Amino acid sequence: MQFTSEQRLDDGVLAREFTLGEIPGTLWTPASTAPAPLILMAHNNGLPKGQSRLVARARLTAAYGYAVASIDAAGCGDRPRSAADEQARADLRRAMQAGEPVDEIFESLVGPLVERAVPEWRTTLDVLLALPGIGGPVGYSGWAALGIRLAVVEPRIAAAGFFAGGYVPRAQREEARQVTVPLLLLLQWDDEGNPRQRALDLYDAFGSKEKTLHANMGGHLGTPSFELEDGGRFFARHLR
């Protein structure tokens, strides 16, 4: 891992950009020198690690005393996308605008993204846990499809928070039954891009004995700010 830049933010959080081979990432660490639990933070469906909403969540989470890491995995953010990825994105936008079924298009786009992303996230986790000032256990926050696969294959993840869940590939819907870590699912009741019943069905499918659903009124971008604080309490119960 090579750190390429660092910035001490107003809240004392240290933000460092890094590269790990071809993988670009950001690591936010709290001002405290004590070993901090690590939270992996991924934005939905391959959006960049520098997306403003993700950065805001990461900074606040780090200020609560966690180390937070996000990467642009293969096909995500500014990394090269295949012609098939670009065609699937274009087809998805067209179908959604026209009100046409999108399930098969979504499968062709998101399924391969998850398959390519998981190994890179696990490689990043290996390196992060070897850094001074970062300790276990590990949490996950963000993109549901990726998080489901990671929670199934990565035993170091001790708790997970997922967003939305209306559109999740079939493979991850089946894998949801194997997820047993404590779970928090955030659902926007009027999310225009995530069918409510599918999200509720996904929540019901999770195998976790401890799982919590937070549903709030509003669209996809309307998650109340207090959910950041509630998410902090959730991770505090399981990572501290």
pLDDT of residue 45: 65
Among candidate residues 129, 136, 161, the one with its CA nearest the CA of residue 232 = 161
User: Residues near 195 by Cβ (< 8 Å), separated by ≥ 6?
Assistant: 166, 167
pLDDT digits (tens, 9 = 90+) for 12-62: 999 999 999 999 999 999 988 788 999 999 986 667 788 888 898 999 999
Coil, strand or helix at 139: strand
- Residue ranges covered by each domain of the chain: 2-79+114-239
pLDDT digits (tens, 9 = 90+) for 75-95: 787 788 888 888 888 888 898
The second-level CATH assignment, the architecture, of 2-79+114-239 is 3-Layer(aba) Sandwich (3.40)
pLDDT of residue 178: 98
Amino acid at 70: S
pLDDT of residue 128: 97
One DSSP character per residue, 184-238 reads EEEEETT-TTS-HHHHHHHHHH---SSEEEEEESS-TT---THHHHHHHHHHHHH
pLDDT per 10-residue tile (average), the chain, 240 residues: 94 94 95 89 79 89 94 83 83 84 83 90 96 91 94 97 87 96 95 87 96 93 88 92
Give the pTM.
0.92
